[in-house]
Structure 1
């Protein structure tokens, strides 16, 4: 299989008719004669943009005979340009071949700091162009041959060798699709390579994901090395599955587990499946609905013990096995809104107190590759291991890195006293993985890890941080230019570095800061990841105070979506965007432009049919309403029901367990439950997860009782959904049924005896 990696030549004479131009073009023709592609340029242009070509090129050939060398001064401008360009390349790529060539100049004219970065020096006309071309191509092909990591290389080789397929899947390398018109469309859309690479685990030369052998195992070892972990396991079912694997390898029925109250629902599913007894650590929240950190004191062993004592089921479990520690701690690192914890502080507090420390780093796989995040992620270079506790980190490779959907991985850091039993762990792994894994997902795990090999990975992360901070600066610039008029705010520290990315200290959450709204936080314990950007719309401040006028975020994001800008999450007066390694200046500048257009349409009160034609066609009731008028209606509804207070209080309220989650779930599976209308829920124990979107964090888990605040929220959601269709509050676990033409809302609760 031939990949396109041209050789890039930069010479001001590339298109000239002088002897230098003739010579370099002769070399280019000789390289093309050997079957390679050449791209010629006459200048460096924007160095940083030109150096981006390092990801597409197989080698650089740079002239040192340009006219700038004749200039005087302390250092010739061409040398300075050359140095800057090479440094820009090496910032991202330490391996790509770089050659210098000249007619009159030699290595004696080049400083040592440039010479040490070179793969060769070509003196024109001393050898034939054909010989020089072969010399360059030997280095270029050696470089490209070493790019592919183990599994991806094996998969490419397999898909390229023309073997007939007699195994699953039934499309047999895509052939079945060619027998049908719609199949032809599918084949043309996805392409030959993807379908030839879609194979089953009968292909021995690709190794086995299920028992981690062959190229799969080599790739997992390679990823473990890159991420500085003792072990890495690829997962093709997403981090929801990775979390369940970790839990089933460590937790059994009746074990006490310590869990972040705002964890992902996969952790709550794990509690139900394992039969564990949870005690929860409650994060802070601000009145914008953003999830803050769990206070440091919540993690202290004496306070965890108080929670165990206060929970009748945990108390009973501890009495039955007084010699057992809590089996696992799981916290969300980072939170959906970008708050991270100092992991070393947690290790110091909890090592020896809890058997396994699990950090759900679905949204933080990039952190290990940049000093900006030092100590704010679970496993990495020069990170000390615990004396007793095993440390797991689960990563959504597809969220922040370059994996395709469902690509995930589990990293393990062993303790000084405990080594991972791979055989026992693999029993839990097999419980949750498919026996027919998608090999393209495995390959993307392999490639995503290889892409993060320093220095390239470090450069990618730094670019993400830089783009995120530049977006924040641009939004503040617009705000300053509008003066007293309204504009959007990007949630974050009041002060930022004037240029560059600054340091970690710029993003630490401090107790005396007003911007975050999380109260009195421990020094140095938490940081906001700047690549997670929450845009705050006018109408509500972090103290929960409503303004006279407001712009609900759901209207803004609906507007953005119809203008081709899709955001990650929408709250009452905020929406969330992420600056992954794939985000570009063009994308975030488009967002700024779209927000400017929204402001203009809002200020002019343009009717909905004109600015949101598709939405208005779906919901004709909004057609004639002006954008500003609709914002006013929804804002006044939020304000009348004081919904910011309600949503904050319901997540911070004390949840009362009526039974173990696994017991409540068992009653649901046996249909020992009642479908209870919203107004009658107070005091009843839910049989299902109740999860409002946003933020997609479960509010109640099976076996917990409804309190007054939660019922008040559900009553508001019922009213709002009927009044403003299209801007519905989505609540998983809430059942809507039509009774005599009237929509009614229910939740399935465990059946009581009375």
Structure 2
């Protein structure tokens, strides 16, 4: 299978008719005759731009006779050459770099440059054909070594041309070729993807289910790259990774300690295992952003008080006083980018809880840059726990380069306890398909290999830099508008003027007003700068409404119709992520689109003119001006004081009436009542009640509705009826019209 990795030559004489130009073109022609692709350039004008080519090239050939290598400080003056090589090596330790010259030799090159080279070519001493073969040998050795273990085996299998009689039924894509619509499908996805979609019966690819062969080699390679003792690839997302971790170590009536604002997959795991949860409640600000759990909540004394206050946990502990809480699961980072100092948590909880599980779906990049030191679960030079095993679950597809559903589980053994892989694999088999998608496995393999330093470190640094440059650009626009309105980006008041700055710039302080989380512990939390929350006018972090405002849903609807899709929309904020795939073009386009929104808002242009698709879907807004519509929604929010309600409902105490697994069993048996909103207070839910955004469950099965939650549901019913198209989606709340009658109800346990 042939891949395109050209050889890049940089020589100012590449297109000249002088002796030097004739010589370098003869070398290029000799390489092309050997089957290589060669690209020639005549300038080093933008070193960074050429260094970007390290991901696309198989070798660099650099002339050292060029005038561009002249300068006043060195003789021979090679400052540009040094800068160029440093730019390449910042991202890639292995790509071959060759120098060549007519007048200069290696004796003119300082040692710090020589040690980065794969060869020095002195023109006209060997034939172009010989030199070409020498360069191509190094280039091919480099590209042949790029693919990590499983991806390499998959490439070999797909290119082998063997007939197969196993599943899937499309047989390498052949079935699609027998149908017109199948032809479209085949042409869209391509031959390679379909040839690589194979059954787990292919022995040479290894087995995901028992971690053998090339798959096992890739998991070991990923464990090494991520500084873990074990790594397991998962092909159904981190929701499944979380359930695997839980089922490997949690059983019925185990006491578990859980972040109240955890992902719903953790709550599903509580239901499935029959565990008894005690919750640690994070702070929140009035913009609806999730803050950290206070450090004081993590002390063993605080956890014990929570156990004592929960009748089911208290009873379980009385039956088995020798048992510790089985697992602690913390969301690291939160959806809004808040992370915890893991070393402080280890110091508090090592040995007090059997397993420490960090749901790092949004933080797989952190281990590769010192910017995040101590703020991630597993990393180089981090001390082992004495007793507790550490799990980290990563959404490889969210912030690394995995394709959708790519995830992984990392494990760090403690000094006194090692992971029992046989027990763990029983849980793994419970949740893993016997027909895994091999493209997802390959993307896990490749995503890990991409993060091997220095390349991974460079990718993370670029993400941080782009995110901070976006913030700088937004502040520059704000300064130029002066007293006029503009959007803010939530974060520290002061950021570095250049570069990425330091971790301390992003650590939350108790005296800081910007975050709105109150008196936080010093050095315990930081904001990951690659998570950017854009705040719209109308509400401040203290929960105070302005006279006029622009709800975020108005902005994101506008952006979507102009080709900009954001990750999450709150009341007066929306969230964007600077993954390793974000470019300057993307975030500059966002800034431009926000400028256009401001212009259309200030002119109060009608919806039909600026959002024709939205106007067609919801004709009631067709003739309404953008500013007028924003004000209507803002007034509805302000009159209902919805910022207070949505904050209080997550912070309000929840009363467990029964174990989550028991409440879910009631629903499975149909022992439920469909209770209208007005009658919900005091009733026990049989379902997860989850507003989107933020997608954080308010109640889990077995908990009782309180007054604040009912107040929120009443608002949602009113708002959805008044502003179609801006509906608040609440999973678990059924809103339906039957025979002209509208009903809003929740399935509750029958009393």
Deviation of 1:744 after TM superposition, in Å, equals 1.6
- Is residue 284–residue 647 contact of structure 2 (8 Å, CA) maintained in 1? yes
CA distance in 1, matches of 2:573, 2:42: 48
Shift of 1:44: 1.2
Alpha-carbon distance between aligned partners in 2 of 1:605 and 1:737, rounded to the nearest angstrom: 34
Q: Which residue is 1:306 aligned to?
A: 305
- Counterparts in 2 of 1:208-607, with a 5 A limit? 208-607=207-606
Q: Conserved in 2, the CA contact under 8 Å of 1:64 and 1:78?
A: no
Partner Cα separation in structure 2 for residue 347 and residue 468 of structure 1? 30
Shift of 1:459: 0.1
- State the partner residue of 1:10: 10
Aligned residues of 1:282 and 1:294 also touching (Cα < 8 A)? yes
Moved more, 60-69 or 352-361: 60-69
With over 3 angstroms needed to count, the CA separation of the structure-2 counterparts of 1:68 and 1:702, relative to structure 1, is: closer
Q: Confirm or deny: 8 A CA contact 2:243 2:269 kept in the other structure.
A: yes
Say if 2:71 and 2:78, in contact at 8 Å, map to a contact too.
no
Counterpart mapping for 1:13-28 below 5 A: 13-28=13-28
Aligned match of 2:73: 74
> What residue number does 1:106 align with?
105
Deviation string 1:207-266 (CA, Å, 9 cap, x unpaired) is 000000000000000000000000000000000000000000010000000000000000
1:724 partnered with 2:723: yes
Are the counterparts in 2 of residues 386 and 415 from structure 1 also a CA contact under 8 Å? yes
Contact in 2 for aligned 1:516/1:542 (Cα 8 Å): yes
Task: Name the counterpart of 2:52.
Answer: 52
SS for the counterpart of 1:728 is coil
Mapped partners of 2:730, 2:77: distance in 1: 63
1:35 aligns with 2:35: yes
Give the match for residue 143 of structure 2: 144
Deviation at 1:165, TM superposition (A): 1.6
What is the match of residue 91 of structure 1? 90
Q: Secondary structure at the match of 2:730?
A: strand
Q: Report the CA distance between 1:740 and its aligned residue.
A: 3.8
Q: Name the SS for the 1:30 alignment partner.
A: helix
Which residue of 2 is the match for residue 669 of structure 1? Answer: 668
Q: Deviations over 1:431-459 (max 9, x none)?
A: 00000000000000000000000000000
Runs in 1 of length 4+ with deviation above 3 angstroms?
Answer: none
The alpha-carbon deviation at position 630 of structure 1 amounts to 0.1
| Aligned-partner SS, 1:476 | helix
1: distance between equivalents of 2:365 and 2:615? 40
Provide the residue aligned with 2:63 in structure 1.
63
- Distance (Å, rounded) in 2 between the aligned partners of 1:725 and 1:175: 46
**What secondary structure, in the 3-state scheme, does the structure 1 residue paired with 2:576 have?**
strand
State the distance in 1 between where 2:14 and 2:77 align. 16
How many angstroms apart in 2 are the aligned matches of 1:446 and 1:77?
44
Q: Which digits, 9 at most, give the CA deviation of each residue in 1:554-573, with x for residues without a partner?
A: 01000000000000000000
Query: Which whole-Å CA distance do the structure 1 matches of 2:646 and 2:456 have between them?
Result: 39
Q: Compute the displacement of 1:76 (Å).
A: 5.0
Q: Is the CA contact 2:271–2:664 (under 8 Å) kept in the aligned structure 1?
A: yes
Q: Which residue of 2 aligns with 1:169?
A: 168
What TM-score does the superposition give when structure 2 sets the normalisation length?
Answer: 1.00
Q: Report the count of equivalent residues.
A: 751
Residue 72 of structure 1 deviates from its aligned partner by 5.8
Matched, 1:652 2:651: yes
1:156 aligned partner: 155
Hey, what's the Cα distance between the residues in 2 that align with 1:575 and 1:463? 22
For 1:383 and 1:397, locate their aligned partners in 2 and report how far apart those are by CA, in whole Å: 22
Quick check: 1:54–1:89 contact (8 Å CA) kept in 2?
A: yes
Match of 2:625 in 1: 626
Per the alignment, in what secondary structure is the counterpart of residue 317 of structure 2?
helix
Determine the C-alpha separation between the residues in 1 that align with 2:407 and 2:21.
51
Q: Does structure 2 conserve the Cα–Cα contact (< 8 Å) formed by 1:68 and 1:76?
A: no
C-alpha separation in 2, matches of 1:555 and 1:487: 15
Could you tell me how far apart the structure 2 residues matched to 1:49 and 1:556 are?
A: 34
Q: Is the 8 A contact 2:567 2:574 kept in 1?
A: yes
Q: Judge conservation of contact 1:379–1:413 (CA < 8 Å) in 2.
A: yes
In the alignment, the residues of structure 2 paired with residue 115 and residue 77 of structure 1 have an alpha-carbon distance, to the nearest angstrom, of 14
- 8 Å CA contact 1:68–1:77 kept in 2: the answer is no
The SS at the match of 1:259 is: strand
CA contact (8 A) 1:602 1:627 kept: yes
Q: 5+ residue gaps in structure 2?
A: none
CA deviation map 1:327-368 (0-9, x unaligned): 000000000000000000000000010000000000000000
SS where residue 78 of structure 2 aligns? helix
Aligned with 2:316: secondary structure?
helix
- Find the aligned partners of 1:327 and 1:441 in 2 and give their Cα distance: 31
Question: Residue 180 of structure 2 aligns with which residue?
Answer: 181
CA contact (8 A) 1:64 1:102 kept: yes
How much has 1:618 moved relative to structure 2? 0.4
d(CA) in 2 for partners of 1:495 and 1:736?
45
Return the alpha-carbon distance in structure 2 between the equivalents of residues 129 and 410 of structure 1: 51
* Distance in 2 (alpha carbons) for counterparts of 1:288 and 1:737: 30
Mark the CA change 1:77 to 1:259 in structure 2 (over 3 Å): closer, same or farther. farther
Distance 1:188 1:739 in 2: 44
CA contact (8 A) 2:58 2:95 kept: yes
Pair 52,394 (structure 1): closer, same or farther in 2 beyond 3 Å: same
8 A contact 1:402–1:444 mirrored in 2: yes
Distance 1:613 1:74 in 2: 61
Contact 2:478 2:486 in 1 (8 A): yes
**Does the CA contact (< 8 Å) of 1:66 and 1:78 recur in 2?**
no
Per-residue deviation, 1:106: 0.2
Preserved contact between residue 369 and residue 454 of structure 1 (Cα < 8 Å)? yes
Gaps of 5+ in 1: none
Cα separation, partners in 2 of 1:649 and 1:116, compared to 1, 3 Å: same
The whole-number CA distance in structure 1 between the counterparts of 2:605 and 2:279 is 48
Structure 2 CA distance for aligned equivalents of residues 45 and 741 of structure 1? 70
Shift of the alpha carbon at 1:385? 1.0
User: Following the alignment from structure 1 to structure 2, what is the Cα–Cα distance between the partners of residues 449 and 443?
Assistant: 10
**In structure 1, distance between residues paired with 2:71 and 2:450:** 42
SS of the aligned residue for 1:535 comes to strand
